[in-house]
Every structure is written in structure tokens, then in C-alpha cells.
Structure 1
Amino acid sequence: MMTNLFSVFDPTSSFLSNWLSMLTPLLFMMMAFWLVPSRAQFLASKILNGLNREMSLLMGTASIGANILVIALFLFILFNNFVGLFPYIFTATSHLTVTLSLAVPLWASFVIYAWAKETLNALAHLVPLGTPTPLMPFMVLIEIISNLIRPVTLSVRLAANMIAGHLLLTLLGSQGTMENMYVTVVVVFVQIVLLVLEFSVAIIQSYVFMTLMTLYASE
């Protein structure tokens, strides 16, 4: 029995079984060893090639390694978002522990690389073009703060969007059995609609996380 509405996001209830849900993408890797590719593999290949072309437009054709990194990040977040929609499975991406662990190291590596290899460009990036001279110190401060909070906003965006839908589904599921049959039918219908929307949110949030991280790297 739930003690409160947020207990469904408690990772300490069963530590091993909860966090092992993050390893479920490994179960889908065996398809690569099939002799004859399946239709799912062809579809996945089309999607990955499309993502690779789009990331190349944002980061340049020379950044093949970075494209592989952000696409792998997209697939990891996407699988964890989808797995979290199944009953009794822990949603790892709804916790800041996971989202910050993904965003902060990547963002820090981009910033360290920029300041180490492109110091002058990094300094020039702190002052937007056309800024009046009296406002330059304030713009530098604002740009520094905005750069520092980027991984936090990126992590909170992903976690908050995953939590919001799960809370609605949990809230409706806990109230449906307490009403009469007609209300229960309406609640189940609304839950199905919300579940479809959650599938869309799982894809969109994975894509947004990947795209924003790519834009941060391209800067």
C-alpha cells in the first residue's frame, strides 16, 4: 500500500531490482547478431541514420564520435522512458540522480574542451555581438550563470516531465476503484489516453535532451 503519492518514485524500496531496470536496453542488443535482419532492425537503422544526419547538420560532418555519443544517449533515455511505463518497473529517468549523472559530465567535458582549446572564442562567447560597453560586465555575469545552470535545467526538464505523467496515472489509478462502474470506465479511458501521451512524451523528451546537448556542444 502506498504511503503517499510520491512513493512510486522511491528507489530505496527495492534497490537492486529498481536500478537493474536501467540495464534492459542490453536485452535488445542480441538482434544485431541475427543472420537475417528483421523489420525492427530496418526501422531502427532508418531512425538512427536520420538522427545521424540531423546531428551532423548541427555539429558538422567531422564530429562522428560526438554523433555516436549523443545518439547512444538518446537510445538510453528512450529505452528507460519506455520501460518505466510498464507496471511495477522503476523509472530511472524520473530521478535527478540519473539525469544529472547524464547531463553534468557531458556538459563539463564540452566546457573544459572549449576553454582549453578555444579560449579566445569561449571568452568572446560571453559577450553577445552588439552589446553596449556599459552592459558588458553584466552580460558576462548573465552568460556565466546561464552556462552554469544548463545541466541543471536539462536534468530537471527530463525528470519533471517523466514524473508529471506518472503522477497523473498513479492518481487516477488509485481513485478508479473507489467510484461506481461508470466513473471507473471513464477513468480507465482517460488512463489509456494519458498512457498514449506518455509514450509520446518519452520519445519527445529523449529527443529534446539529445538536441539540447548537441546544441551545447556545437556552441
Structure 2
Amino acid sequence: TDEVYGSIKRGSFNEDSILSPSSPYAASKASADLLTLSYYATYKCPIIIARSTNNFGPYQYPEKLIPLFITSTLDGGILPLYGNGLNIRDWIYVKDNCRAIDLVLHNGKIGEIYNIGAGNEITNLALTKLILKDLNKPNSLVRFVKDRAGHDKRYSLKTDKIRALGFEPIYRFKEALHQTITWYRQNRLWWEKIKKRSKEFKSYYNRQYNTTRCI
């Protein structure tokens, strides 16, 4: 995950950038990377590390921003957006990410790290408006809520290294987003089981957004 680098105001992180995770979750990922690298350094275990930007696509658990906001919009609910909504993420369609991982697995160099991204940086607010526009719903569904602790402002990765292996994203962001929205529209039974019948999901939602209304 790109979270291991922390937030960056300008420019982009490369594979040699210092790890500076902001949350316990990100720190656990950074720790896993360091442990993996130590096994390579000490025992020459054949490892390769891939650090991807934010993924999206079909079958993504609806706790994540894109599927949460798609399904909530389809249900006519509100969209709880952290802070001012100006946090920036680089999104990559899941099929492109899988292609990149497969490329690294077969053509990457043992002991190396590869950043994976598609160059689709966008604020959470702008992304939310794209979802609402696709579903022909008003922006008034957005509700700004208290920002969560350790919420990084911007992620951005340099991907020259994996592109040197021949990787190029195939899916255009807006087209892939539309495909994802269409999938959730056509597979309501799958996500409704999670959102409406899972006590764990309801507890997570209420805890994260400080509300008793699960949408």
C-alpha cells in the first residue's frame, strides 16, 4: 500500500523514499515490508514488494469509499465525507493492478520494490461528485463529517520503475468508474447482504462516521 510512505504535499514518492506511516494500520504494512526485506538481506529469500495506490472495482467490500458511496447513493442515503473532502488519492482499477502484480511476479527483480499506480489523482469530493453525476443524484447527498485521526492529505507515487518493465494502465479512470457503478447496480443482492445484514459492517460504519444511521 502507498500508505507506508505517509502524506506528500508536492511531487511523488519513489521506492527509495523514507517510510513515514501516519496510522497504526499503515505502520503495520510498513513493518511487514521491513520484515520482508530483512529476510531477503539475511537469508536471500526470493521476495519482491509491490506498493499499490488505491484500488477499486467489482466485489470490493462496501466499507471502502467508492463502493460505500455507490451503494449508499443507490439506496438514497447520505454520503459521509471526511473533513473538507479535499484529500487526494491516486486510483487504479483492480484489473490494471492485478496485471501490474503479475508483471512484477514474472519480470521483477528479486529483492526490489515496485510502486504501482495509474496517475489518476483526484480529491475525494471530486470523486464523490462523479459518482453522483453518473447516478443522476444531487450533490446535496454529501455530508461532511469529522475527519478521522491519521488521515493523510495526499498520496502520490512515481511509477517509472514498473513502467520500465512494460506496465501501462489499460483502463481510463472515468470509464472504469462507470463500469464499477454499473456492476454494483446489477449486483445489489451481493452488497445488500453485507450492508443490511452484517452486524460487523453496521458497527464499523457507526464507529467510523459517528452516526447510528447505517446507509
| Fold in common (TM above 0.5) | no
TM-score of the two chains, using structure 2 as the length reference: 0.27
Larger radius of gyration: 1
Which structure dedicates a bigger proportion of its chain to strand? 2
| TM-score normalised according to structure 1 size | 0.26
